[in-house]
Amino acid sequence: MSVLIYGKNSCQEIIDINKKILKAYIMEGTNKDFLNILKRKNIDIVLYEKVEFKRQFQGNNQGIVFEVEDYKTYEFDNFINTLNLEENPLIIMLDGITDVHNFGAIIRTCEAGGVAGIIIPKNRSVKISGAAAKTSSGAIEHIKIVEVTNLRNSLEKLRDLGFWNIGTSLDADKDYSEIFVDRPLCVVIGSEGKGMSRLLKETVDFNVKINMIGKVNSLNASVSAGIIVFDILRKRKNL
């Protein structure tokens, strides 16, 4: 299996980390800097005229697309074995996120904020795609994505390992600023429309909300993730 990676930033990251490129597609007359690098690496290059390139590759691709091997996801136990619990790792769990651009933005936020990994369900959930990779601006190359069969079971396993599980909900009593950060944490982010599932709300140790004073009563999931991740990062730096 392979995936198509669109755009200059994402493709540059592929080159920087020396990820295997199966094939490169470039619009004629563009991206000469990439062409020179790819030729030195003996990468198979396909040049398309502008009209044909746009027909083959939709969206904002900046005239360059890489075909790479499909992204590896981690099994829960294998992922846990990569963590040092004494360093109080932060994990983000996504419940009901289906938009690939939202997913890509969350990946970018989490990587920038030092998150150890992102847990997603195997079914009825967003998957790693070229669009998600492009939105992440290359961050997807530097963060672990964990696929699990059951989110609730994963939360219970994390609790047994010493994690505090924090949910996010509009009707929560606690504010996100009340999260204790001196311990391993898993923060669950629900979808913008439906939020977290009832089952997960009941499974986490407690739920928090982001207080708002405007007329809009909810935030994009990636924005919510960013606010919480960087508040945790800020407080941990002050410990």
Q: Is the distance from CB of 120 to CB of 126 less than 8 angstroms?
A: yes
Q: Tens digits of per-residue pLDDT, 188-214?
A: 999 877 889 999 999 999 999 998 888
- pLDDT above 90 for 218: no
Do 111 and 57 have their domain in common?
A: no
- pLDDT above 90 for 1: no
Residue carrying the six token digits 């207080």: 211
What is the rounded average pLDDT of the residues 7-28? 94
Task: Give me the chain's average pLDDT, please.
Answer: 93
Do 63 and 87 have their domain in common?
A: no
Q: Tens digits of per-residue pLDDT, 33-76?
A: 999 999 999 999 999 999 999 999 988 899 999 999 988 899 99
Q: Which of 15, 47, 69 is the last residue of a domain?
A: 69
Do 155 and 51 have their domain in common?
A: no
User: How far is residue 185's CA from residue 181's CA, in Å, rounded to a whole number?
Assistant: 7
Do 102 and 173 have their domain in common?
A: yes
- Tokens of residue 180, six digits: 């204790």
Do 124 and 36 have their domain in common?
A: no
Number of folded domains that form the chain: 2
Strand order in the sheet with 144-148: 144-148, 117-121, 90-95, 185-190, 164-168, 206-209, 174-175
Do 97 and 212 have their domain in common?
A: yes
Q: Tens digits of per-residue pLDDT, 99-143?
A: 999 999 999 999 999 999 999 999 878 888 888 888 998 899 999
Do 183 and 224 have their domain in common?
A: yes
Do 80 and 178 have their domain in common?
A: yes
What is the span of the domain harbouring residue 24? 2-69
β-pairing, 21-27 vs 64-69, is antiparallel
Do 116 and 40 have their domain in common?
A: no
Angle in degrees, 0-180, between the axes of helices 100-112 and 221-237, rounded to the nearest 10: 10
User: Which pLDDT value is given to residue 137?
Assistant: 84
Looking at the chain, how many residues does it have? 239
| CB-based burial, 46-66: b 16+ in 10 Å, e otherwise | eebeeeebeeebeeebbbbbb
Q: Check which CATH number belongs to the domain holding 233 and give it.
A: 3.40.1280.10
User: How far is residue 24's CA from residue 47's CA, in Å, rounded to a whole number?
Assistant: 8
Do 129 and 60 have their domain in common?
A: no
The answer for 34, left when phi > 0, alpha when psi is -120 to 50, beta otherwise, is: alpha
Q: Count CB-CB contacts under 10 A for residue 84.
A: 9
Q: Tens digits of per-residue pLDDT, 28-42?
A: 999 999 999 999 999
Do 156 and 216 have their domain in common?
A: yes
User: How far is residue 65's CA from residue 146's CA, in Å, rounded to a whole number?
Assistant: 26
| CB-based burial, 136-149: b 16+ in 10 Å, e otherwise | bbbbbbebbbbbbe
Do 196 and 226 have their domain in common?
A: yes
Largest pairwise CA distance in the chain: 58
Q: Count CB-CB contacts under 10 A for residue 237.
A: 8
Q: Which of 14, 47, 69 is the last residue of a domain?
A: 69
| DSSP code per residue over 85-103 | GGG--EEEEEES---HHHH
Q: Which of 10, 34, 69 is the last residue of a domain?
A: 69
Q: Check which CATH number belongs to the domain holding 47 and give it.
A: 3.30.1330.30
User: Which pLDDT value is given to residue 219?
Assistant: 83
- pLDDT above 90 for 230: yes
